[in-house]
Structure 1
């Protein structure tokens, strides 16, 4: 997916302020002896302008952590912060506006509206917020995902990989502070998955984006700058500049 040279986003704020963080995060389901702690005192920070993958065995708490970081779920105790803003105590409307204005999302399900074209789906967050489209940035994002020739097609006229690229473009068109991706390659074939991961990598390297991605795939995780490993609701390890083999070895050690 080639693209013309572009002007990167403005330099991210000082690295001392993480894009997102969890402090002593606990998420429990149920009560009493039947209670299950999906998160059991997790403290972790995610640097701006970096690509971080979250991995762990099934039931490790990785998706729960992502959902709490994104304000899609609430903690039982502890704190989640987006930049300098604590999510604790925010009302539903405040969380909705925070997600709309400061976050982007890419999920395994593409979540595209079937009656809208690809272009309309990409612009949807801006339209809902009543914001004007920055055409130059829109064109940059569309070129980066290689969708120039497919903008007038509806989701039914696009392959799964193309639909996920529409979803990825939609996540970036608002220039969010952080993009949360939950198993974004899970429904894709290997080539489409590789294309999407290459785009996410470019979004970090060329556009200064911050991405936090949950994945079970060691190959996907190897595209990240850092991998954080969870098991039994706790952080057990992390890797920097990960390779597929190093990720596999760590996952085996954690019992996946």
Structure 2
């Protein structure tokens, strides 16, 4: 007998439509997208400029609202929440890593990692945070300030901060955009290890085929629609797929 185990879903969008503006100037950034982001998986989102990839991430993360359709974190529909409950959900169940490191310059590495927890008045799981410090390799930098770190080290702090509250899902928007190739590779490897070692979920928007190759799956968007997906990607296969968009356009 063959048993099929359904993947649990950390986040998803159903019939996602996002329209900016109105009338003749309306822009349909998302056009009926259905996507699941499974628990314990690293998913990359790619597409040409203007394809809707950042809009998809922002709506899935609750940073923007859909024009129609629905977005969920776990079983919670984001559109059913008022501003206060949506803010609390983002604080407690969602982590963010952005291209800019967004560290507080006057705080130490340790203080930056726990800042969201401190602002929420939560102690956090000290054993979890201690393990994260080892995952990101910052044990000997905890008392340093951001100005004393390299760009790659600062982004590692940002990654640890995103995971510190044990969120259901971490959204990363071009997390290696400000890094050189070596530092970027370290951060991408770190995100992959964090998924493997903590059973968290990462959703990353990127334009870089090398970055996308670190993911378990790549989703391709074009003109606001999901047009393809690739399991076990390599940089060459992703690049070939992206070149097909250029030929079509």
Band of TM-score, shorter chain: over 0.9
What is the aligned-residue RMSD (CA, Å)?
1.2
Within a 5 Å distance, the mapping from 1:57-206 to structure 2 comes to 57-206=48-197
CA distance in 1, matches of 2:183, 2:84: 35
> Shift of the alpha carbon at 1:168?
0.2
Q: 2:71 touches 2:77 (CA, 8 Å); kept in 1?
A: yes
Deviations 1:76-101 (CA, angstroms, capped at 9, x unpaired): 11110111000013222111100110
Match of 1:6 in 2: none
CA distance in 2, matches of 1:15, 1:76: 29
1: CA distance, partners of 2:136 / 2:235: 24
Deviation track 1:26-70 (CA, whole Å, cap 9, x = no partner) reads 111111121000111111111111000000001100000000000
Contact 1:221 1:247 in 2 (8 A): yes
- C-alpha deviation, 1:16, in angstroms: 4.4
Residue of structure 2 in register with 1:4 after alignment:
none
Instruction: Tell me what 1:234 maps to.
Output: 225
1:15 shift after superposition = 4.1
Q: Which runs of 5+ in 2 are unaligned?
A: none
**CA distance in structure 1 between the partners assigned to 2:187 and 2:176 by the alignment:** 7
Whether the aligned pair in 1 keeps the contact of 2:7 and 2:39 (CA below 8 Å) is: no
- 1:15, 1:47 within 8 Å by CA — same for their partners in 2? no
Please give the alpha-carbon distance, in whole angstroms, between the structure 1 residues aligned to 2:237 and 2:190.
Answer: 23
Segments of structure 1 that go 5 or more residues without pairing to the other structure are 1-13
State how far apart, in whole Å, the 2-side matches of 1:157 and 1:54 are.
32
Given candidates 30, 37, 40, the residue that maps to 2:28 is: 37
Task: Quote the Cα distance in structure 2 between the aligned partners of 1:65 and 1:110.
Answer: 21
**Post-superposition shift, 1:17?**
3.7
TM-score of the two chains, using structure 1 as the length reference: 0.92
d(CA) in 2 for partners of 1:17, 1:47? 6
- The secondary structure found in structure 2 opposite 1:113 is coil
What TM-score results when the alignment is normalised by the length of structure 2? 0.95
Residues 179-223 of structure 1 show CA distances to partners (whole Å, capped at 9, x for unaligned) of 000000000111111111111111111211110000001011001
More helix by share: 2
- The answer on whether the counterparts of 1:17 and 1:84 sit within 8 Å (CA) in structure 2 is no
- Aligned to 2:14, what secondary structure does the other structure show? strand
Which 4+ residue blocks in structure 1 deviate beyond 2 angstroms?
14-17
Q: How many residues align?
A: 243
Partner deviation per Cα, 1:207-242 (whole Å, 9 max, x = no partner): 111100000010110010000000110011000001
8 Å CA contact 1:38, 1:233 repeated in 2 = yes
CA distance in 2, matches of 1:173, 1:153: 18
